[in-house]
Structure formats: C-alpha cells, structure tokens
Structure 1
Amino acid sequence: MKKIALMTWHHVNNYGTAFQALALKELITEFDCDVDIINYMRLEASPIQKKSLKKIIKNLFYETTSVDTNGKIYEFNDDCFEAFYSKNFTYTQICHSRQDLQKLNNIYNGFVCGSDQIWGPRWFDSHYFLDFVTDSKRKIAYAPSIGVTGLSSFQAAWSMKKLISKIKYLSVREKTGCDEISELTGRHDVINVLDPVLLIDGTFWEKILATSKQELPKNDYMFIFFLKNNEKYIQFAIEEAKKKNLKPIIMHSTQSIDNNYYNIEAPKPEDLLKYLKEAKYICTDSFHIMVFSIIFNKQFTVFNKHNSKEFSSQNGRLTELLDRLKIKNVVYNGKIGDKIDYRIVNDELYNLKRVSKYFLENAIKNIPDEINYYDYKNTCEDCKKCKGNISFEMKQYFSKGKLITHKFIKKRMMLWSFSLEGKCYGCEKNENIDTRKPIFYDELLNDFLKDRNLLKIYMKYYFTYDLINVIKKMTQFVRR
C-alpha cells in the first residue's frame, strides 16, 4: 500500500477548504493508499513583494476612508471546525521549515498538492508546488486553482513557471487556469479536472451529515449564504423566499463585514451539509455551496461575489462549472434562476467524473513503489549550498566593481531582507535571519544574470523600499 502525503490548506475556518481537503483525501484512499495531510505551519508572514511606486504615491496623497458599521468580520467558535478535522484527518509531523518538509521524502511514496486556490499568485508559497519533493515522478497536482487571469503579469509568475515545470502529473480545476499555465510554462499536458468534492458520491456526504445533531426548521426554507456581505443580494433572496412561501435561513457573511440579517449561528461542517440537503432552495455566492447544491440536486441561484475587474476572474470559477454541466440562467441578473434539469446535469457530471478520476488513478499508479533515501541534511538542490544564491552571485560581481555607484547601490541593497547577505532561502529556518523568499526572487535573479546592470536592478526591486524608508524617517523627524 502506497503512502501519500497531501499538501493543501487545512485547519482553517472555511467550509470549502475543509470539504475539498476531505474529498481529495477520500479519493486517494479509494486507490488503495494511506493518506496524511502535511501539517505545514508557516512561521513567517507572506512572501515579500515588489513595492509599486504608483501605489506609494497614491497612498501619500489620497486619504483612505473607512465605512463605519455596527458589524464585524465573523469569528467562528473554537470548536466549530476542530472536531471535524480531528475526526476526518491524520497528519504528518508539524512542518515549519523546508528541511522539515524534506524529511517526508523518506516516509511517503508520493505527494499530491491540491485543490482550492493554493496556487493563487497573490499569496504565493513555493511549498504548495511541492518544491521540497526530490523526484518529479512523485509529484501530482490535482485541481489546484490560480484564481486569476493574466498570470504572467504577476510577480510570482517566474517562480511558478519554474516550480510547475517540475511536476510530472499536472491538472488544474478551471479551463481558464489550464490555458494560463500552458501559456506560462509551454506545457500542453495540463488536464482540466473537477473539484474533488464533485467526485465523491452524494451518499458519502449524506453519511457525514447523518452525524449532525442540528435541529432544522419545521417549515420549508430557503438557505441563504453569502461569503461577502451584499445587502442587495440578501434582500433579494429574502423577498424571493417570501414569494415561494419559504422561511429564509440566513448565515453570517464570513469573508467581509457581517450582515445584519443572519438568523442562525455558523453551523459545524456536518450541520451545514444537513441544512443544504434539506433546503427547498439555495441562494449563494460561494463556489462550494453551489457545488453541494448540485450534488444534492437543489434548485439555486448563484451570485457574483466580486464586482471589481481585479477579482472578476474568481467569479469565473462558478460560471465555468455551470457551463461544463450545461446549467443555464442561474447566475443572478436581477431575477431568480431558471429551473435546473438534473437529468442533463447528472449525465454531464458522470462523464466529467470519469475523466478526472482516471487522471488521478493513473498518476498514483505510476508513482514509484520504492522510496530512495534522501540525505536532506547534506543536500540543498536549489542553491547548491548557497553558491547558486543570488547573494553569492552578486557578491562575486561586487568584489570586482570599483565604481562609486557600485558601492552606493551595494550599501542600499544590504538594508533589505533580500539583500547581499549570505543566507539561503532553501535551508532550515534560522532565527537570526529572515528566511522568507521574495516573491520576485527568480525574476530578480534572471534580470541580474542577463545583463548585470546593478542600477536597473536597484531601481526595479529596491528603490521603492528605500523610498518608503526615507519617508518614514522624515515623518519621524518632523514629528519630533
């Protein structure tokens, strides 16, 4: 029996995250595997990003305004998700550093990363691309989502291209994501697969909800759940519930300032499934609530969570799935959605599930049975024991340069955590240095090795950090 380690988001208070992790674990288990969730706990903050001069200037001259509300971003009770995770998952040792993760190479036959938006370039983390796994044949990406369009324009694109190219079995949840990754990497073997929640039969989810002790309303009800507070949508849903003689059951908004309409406390995951299974109608802006509406063959209307162009691509994951399942006219456009013919939907879903399951089964089958010992303590593949580190490369160049401009630039660069100090972003965490790898690291290295124009490098990557630092010091001086 093969041992598989699953790299995904876990132990967060998010229903979609919890359900997708459970579904993917169950799927892999079906193929005669033992599965553990990688207990990755990042110690550092998000990766360092390039500062935009345009945004800095905008923040200096334009005051930001905040809306005064009586609400707050919803906080779940401590026990809302904890029992669900404890009951349904087994974990690896806690992993903080890269070396912690590298140890897993000697324990597990294969590694799967997915699903959800773990590959989102805005919150890039190289470990979710299995950068710590030694052999590409042991890497499987199942249904990760990037959640954006125009991937090549993001700072993380350089790093993502390098990391994705090393994954043997590659699939993505959205067709648009497949196209974006193919364009970025030049790979044409990217498979479009379903979210793992859709691959698990409804009978499995019914067993989960059967453990719920939640009392449901005695009368028929409409279940209303919006991740993002939108009073227009909520009021519309309430009015439609009245027209259908349904009681509106309204959850908290969980990703923005809460609404004032909720009439139930946030349920445990199994309780939420029970609410969905017994609802007569569902209104939501949540991808995974829509997915369960489909699994339970419910009539529903789905709403776009984001109105801004910057995040409009995240709306696309809903409409793309609807198109694949031939569900028409259920996206809110001022009226309630059309009736869904689930005979057509279930036929389409059956065919799509076969393709997705075949990809995952075939990938797992081809993972090597033998585990070759990996000497993680004496190996650092990416940096060749720091001699491939950009710090080392730049130091070599600086030692030859005698120009005053070189000395000035070097002095300025050394102020920052992506400076010329001889540290390695690939090794074990060192309490004395900042081990966060900059999100633009590979792009910076490429620019430097291409023409070694230090002034260009400084202006592109360091200048805005310097500018912020100078502004802060000037502000402190004036206040004194």
Structure 2
Amino acid sequence: MKIAILTQPLHNNYGGLLQAFALQKVLKKKLNIESETLDIGYSSSFISKLKGVVKLNIDKFIFQKKIRPQFKPTEEQKKKIATHTDAFKNEYIKLGQGKYTKQNLGDLQKLNYDGYVVGSDQVWRPRYSPNIQTYFLNFLKNNSTSKRISYAASFGVDFNEFKDRDLYKCASLLQKFDAVSVREEGAVKLCETKFGVKSKLVLDPTLLLEVDDYKAFFDKDLETKKQIMFYVLDPEYANKEIETSVKEYFDLPLFKIMPKAMNEESVKNIKDCIYPPVEDWIEGFLTSEFIITDSFHGTIFSILFNKQFITIGNEVRGMSRFNSVLKIFNLQDRLVSDLDGIKKVLKTKIDYTAVNKILETEKEKSLDFLKESLLK
C-alpha cells in the first residue's frame, strides 16, 4: 500500500517538519505502510495578484494608509537560511516526485496512490492555505478508488473562517472522505455543523512516537542542562519583562533557538538568519530543565518529554489548538496570558504519572483510527 500525504509546505517550521516526519514514521513503524509527502506549492492567479495590487493602491492613495515596504528575500537568501531545515527534510522525510500547484494537481492521479492522507497541522485554515480546496482533495475524480482520509487535520481556530463559496465546495468534498479525524475539540464541532460530517479527535502524530524515536537522532547520551528552553515565535507575547521574571525565578540562562527575522538590515549578516538544525531544537526540549513557549508543537514536545512548562497564549495565531490539547491531559492551567499567570503556574508542578497514562490511552485510540481507516 502506498499513501500520499498532503500537509502544509515544509519550510523552516520545526513543528511542521516534525509532524510530517512523525506521520510517515508512524505509518511505517505501526502499520507497515509506505508513504510520500507531496510538495504542494501555492500559486496565485493573475486575477488574485491584480486584486492585491488594487487593494494596496486603494489603501495607500484613498485611505492614506502608511504602507510599509515589504522585504522580499532572494531565492538564494531563502535557500541559505533553510540550509539545516532542508537537510532534515531531505534526509528524514520521503517526498513525492515533482512539485504540485493548483495548475497541475490533476497529474497526481497518474501516480496511482492507494490513498491520500490530509494532515496534520493547520491544513484546513484558509489564511494559511490559499488553495484551500486542494486539502479537501478536489483534484480526485468522483470515480477514484483511492482512500480519502484526514489525520489530525486542523482549522487552527474553533470558528468558521471559510468564505461561503469555499465552505460549500469543501463540505461537498469532505463528505466523500472515507474517514475524518481532527486535532482539536472545536474542529469536531465545525466538521459536524459546517461540513456535515462526523469526525474523531486524535493526537498530533508527533505524540504517537516514543521519546526514544527522537533520541535516535543523536549518537550521544543527552544530559539535562541548567537552562530554560525559551521557544517563542511571537516576541510581543513574551516581552522582556516575562524573560527577566523567569530568569530571576529560576536563576538560569535562557536557551533560544529562533534566528533573526530577515529584513534589509539583518541579511547583511545572513548567518544570523539561518535556522539552526532541527536536531538542536529537539535537544533543547530534551535537555532543558523548564520550557517557556507560545508554540503548539513546543507545548506538544514539552508534554511528550515530561517537562515542566508554561505555554503563553496567543490570540492571533489561535488559542483553540492549545486549549484542546491541554484539556486532553488536564493541563489547562499551564496556558497563561500575562506575567501574573506565569508567576502562579511556576509554583505548581505537573504530575506526569497521570499525564502519561492519558497519553497511552489516547495513542491507542489514534492508532486504531489509522488502522481502521487505512487497513480495512
């Protein structure tokens, strides 16, 4: 059996890369299924590009908005900063041949995959997936015999972000799926009320692997370091006051892994913009004494590696993902939004005996979904 996986484009997102790796690993290790992750790219039509130009000029000349010039890195610069993340992708994730955009997705039917798995990550979030119908397999013909499955697909939020036209089309497509599973509790409700399908709540694929599967990246024994893993994607939600407070409480240094964002100034020393290796990211979570993060997968790996942690809530990037996964493990109190909340949580400790029991139960349910969906 050969399966094609559709997920968000694999760039420099550590969580995105690791969920893609994990799903392939789980399919092979647990179900003996070969899979390939398709290289799905975004393409904009001439009309959509023209709309963007028109909107920009209306904002600038009619509404007198100040338009900040956008920095556009060159292809060489993008390739440079992705040196390590591309190396991980090429070594550990099996990719399908070719790159597919809206224009040539029909060619996928010629490859004769036995099935398609959509997920995980925020594949069903329109703002992150401009060609959203692709992730509902709109390129498959009605008479296709290939299995259509979603695994841990995410809308990112617990309310409808779809335009009416896309919602109608995507609902019709989703109703053709053989089995639907989602990553958040709110997505179960969205599937039923907006798309007219029943779905099952499952774990992110990164949680289906064992800790040893991640330690296997290293040919050395890893020892706990006297440091705090500080993995924050949006610094405005974790300001200097929070950094200072945490450092003073623990009297430990912060380990940060995110590079400088590319702009006209930072690219002058582009080495500062290169994303560190994925293995360094994993090692940071494995060896740090405490984790501070605003990332979904940062939260996931904190739980999997049995770390004491705090998740800083971020309304802009979506809170439902965090609320849902933390609720599964009875860890809702680890989600905070301000300094007072952090100080309160620092005084409590997670009981991982209880958490790990829940994890084993939920892993079994999630693996059962994959087995029943793909092997029966």
Q: Say yes or no: TM over 0.5.
A: yes
Aligned pair count reads 346
> Secondary structure of the equivalent of 2:254?
strand
Q: State how far apart, in whole Å, the 2-side matches of 1:118 and 1:280 are.
A: 33
Does 1:111 pair with 2:110?
A: no
Among 162, 165, 168, which residue is 2:172 paired with?
Answer: 162
Among 179, 184, 193, which residue is 2:202 paired with?
Answer: 193
> Secondary structure of the equivalent of 1:182?
helix
* Cα offset, 1:264, TM superposition: 11
Q: State how far apart, in whole Å, the 1-side matches of 2:63 and 2:9 are.
A: 40
Residues 10 and 21 in structure 1, CA contact (< 8 A), matched pair in contact too: no
Cα distance 1:148–1:78, how it changes in 2: closer, same or farther (>3 A)?
Answer: closer
Answer 1 or 2: which has greater strand percent: 2
Aligned to 1:267: 276
Cα distance 1:50–1:329, how it changes in 2: closer, same or farther (>3 A)?
Answer: farther
Matches within 5 A, 1:389-404: none
Residues 80 and 267 in structure 1, CA contact (< 8 A), matched pair in contact too: yes
Matches within 5 A, 1:216-235: 220-230=226-236, 232-235=238-241
* Cα offset, 1:229, TM superposition: 1.9
Residues 20 and 196 in structure 1, CA contact (< 8 A), matched pair in contact too: yes
* Cα offset, 1:34, TM superposition: 1.2
Does 1:322 pair with 2:326?
A: yes
> Secondary structure of the equivalent of 1:280?
strand
Among 304, 307, 310, which residue is 1:301 paired with?
Answer: 310
Cα distance 1:184–1:8, how it changes in 2: closer, same or farther (>3 A)?
Answer: same
Runs of 4+ with deviation above 6 angstroms? 49-59, 253-257
Aligned to 1:419: none
Q: State how far apart, in whole Å, the 2-side matches of 1:265 and 1:51 are.
A: 33
Residues 185 and 201 in structure 2, CA contact (< 8 A), matched pair in contact too: yes
Q: State how far apart, in whole Å, the 1-side matches of 2:2 and 2:47 are.
A: 31
Task: Give 1:132's aligned amino acid.
Answer: F
Residues 258 and 275 in structure 2, CA contact (< 8 A), matched pair in contact too: yes
Give the alignment's TM-score, normalised by structure 1: 0.64
* Cα offset, 1:110, TM superposition: 1.4
Does 1:139 pair with 2:144?
A: no
Q: State how far apart, in whole Å, the 1-side matches of 2:10 and 2:55 are.
A: 37
Cα distance 1:128–1:153, how it changes in 2: closer, same or farther (>3 A)?
Answer: closer
Task: Give 1:109's aligned amino acid.
Answer: D
Unmatched 5+ stretches in structure 2? 70-76, 267-271
* Cα offset, 1:301, TM superposition: 0.8
Residues 12 and 275 in structure 2, CA contact (< 8 A), matched pair in contact too: no
* Cα offset, 1:39, TM superposition: 2.8
* Cα offset, 1:84, TM superposition: 0.7
Per-residue Cα deviation, 1:62-82 (whole angstroms, up to 9, x for no partner)? 523759xxxxxx977231212
Aligned to 2:185: 175
Larger Rg: 1
Does 1:292 pair with 2:301?
A: yes
Cα distance 1:152–1:219, how it changes in 2: closer, same or farther (>3 A)?
Answer: closer
Per-residue Cα deviation, 1:201-241 (whole angstroms, up to 9, x for no partner)? 11101112x1589x99x960011111112275343133312
Output the aligned Cα RMSD: 3.4
Q: State how far apart, in whole Å, the 1-side matches of 2:262 and 2:180 are.
A: 33
Cα distance 1:231–1:179, how it changes in 2: closer, same or farther (>3 A)?
Answer: closer
Does 1:352 pair with 2:357?
A: no
Residues 137 and 168 in structure 1, CA contact (< 8 A), matched pair in contact too: no
Aligned to 1:238: 244
Identity over the aligned pairs, expressed in percent?
A: 26
Task: Give 2:257's aligned amino acid.
Answer: M
Unmatched 5+ stretches in structure 1? 68-73, 367-480
Residues 282 and 301 in structure 1, CA contact (< 8 A), matched pair in contact too: yes
Task: Give 1:13's aligned amino acid.
Answer: N
Residues 84 and 277 in structure 2, CA contact (< 8 A), matched pair in contact too: yes
Task: Give 2:105's aligned amino acid.
Answer: R
